[in-house]
């Protein structure tokens, strides 16, 4: 059990919400529309957690192409979001964490308008005291910048903070900020590269957070 935790910093994609298949579908549309490099689904999944810019550049997009491709990606992303859903137990656990007095926040490589729209769509926008996005910091995950912004604005210390996420970028962000980290892998296959980073906690379901983890 990790003691004295008062602040939780959540990743969004793959942690709170299952967006992986939807992101993959949108990336494939970008590849087709702009004739980018073609990768297998497994190879594309390795981009999980990276910024959209980084993923598109890996696919061969140039700096000049990025604004147009990102606008296209945003448009197709919201055309049909029926395959995006919260993971099991997210809402009841968020409710219980709030009841117990934890401060809940989000650190995401998404653009602000996208994350705000998704949180509202999924009905969890009111749970979070602070949301830090890619445009709020100079250095994105796995830099500690997002965590440091939250700590400064909400006046918490690193030893009171737990960073939760599903990729190496999240765990490294927490470690780079000298905070405790939690690998959230839900029911999907465990990523050994994340386990190798030695996160402080590993949970396969949000309900496990309430089972003497914090």
Respond yes or no on whether the N-terminal peptide bond of residue 142 is cis (omega within 30° of 0).
Answer: yes
pLDDT higher than 80, residue 68? yes
DSSP string of 56-83, one letter each residue:
HHHTT--TTTHHHHHHHHHHHHTT--TT
Domains of the chain with bracketed CATH: 7-18+84-210 (3.40.50.1000), 20-77 (1.10.150)
Across the chain, what does the average pLDDT equal? 93
Q: What is the pLDDT of residues 136-145, one digit of tens each?
A: 999 999 999 9
Which residues, 6 or more positions from 192, have their beta carbon under 8 angstroms from its beta carbon? none
Q: What is the pLDDT of residues 163-203, one digit of tens each?
A: 999 999 999 999 999 999 999 998 777 889 999 999 999 99
- Helix, coil or strand: residue 162: strand
Which residues, 6 or more positions from 49, have their beta carbon under 8 angstroms from its beta carbon? 11, 13, 14, 109, 141, 165, 166, 167, 168, 169, 170
Do 52 and 73 touch, CB atoms closer than 8 A?
A: yes
Of 203, 196, 164, 158, nearest to 181 by C-alpha is: 164
Do 204 and 88 touch, CB atoms closer than 8 A?
A: no
Respond yes or no on whether the N-terminal peptide bond of residue 171 is cis (omega within 30° of 0).
Answer: no
Tokens coding 141: 């995950």
Of 77, 140, 154, nearest to 113 by C-alpha is: 77
Q: What is the pLDDT averaged over residues 148-161?
A: 98
What confidence score (pLDDT) does residue 45 get?
A: 79
């Amino acid at each position: 059990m990790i003691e004295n935790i008062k602040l939780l910093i959540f990743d969004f994609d793959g942690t709170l919400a299952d967006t992986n298949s939807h992101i993959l579908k949108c990336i494939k549309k970008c590849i087709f529309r702009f004739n980018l490099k073609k990768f297998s689904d497994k190879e594309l999944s390795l981009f999980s957690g990276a910024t959209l810019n980084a993923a598109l550049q890996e696919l061969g997009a140039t700096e000049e192409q990025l604004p147009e491709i990102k606008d296209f990606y945003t448009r197709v992303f919201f055309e049909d979001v029926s395959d995006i859903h919260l993971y099991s137990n997210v809402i009841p656990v968020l409710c219980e964490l709030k009841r117990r007095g934890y401060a809940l926040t989000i650190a995401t490589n998404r653009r602000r308008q996208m994350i705000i729209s998704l949180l509202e769509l999924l009905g969890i926008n009111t749970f979070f005291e602070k949301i830090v996005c890619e445009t709020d910091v100079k250095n994105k995950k796995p830099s500690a910048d997002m965590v440091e912004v939250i700590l400064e604005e909400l006046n918490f210390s690193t030893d009171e903070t737990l960073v939760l996420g599903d990729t190496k970028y999240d765990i490294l962000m927490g470690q780079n900020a000298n905070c405790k980290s939690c690998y959230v892998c839900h029911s999907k296959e465990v990523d050994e590269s994340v386990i190798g980073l030695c996160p402080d906690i590993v949970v396969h379901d949000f309900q496990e957070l309430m089972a003497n983890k914090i």
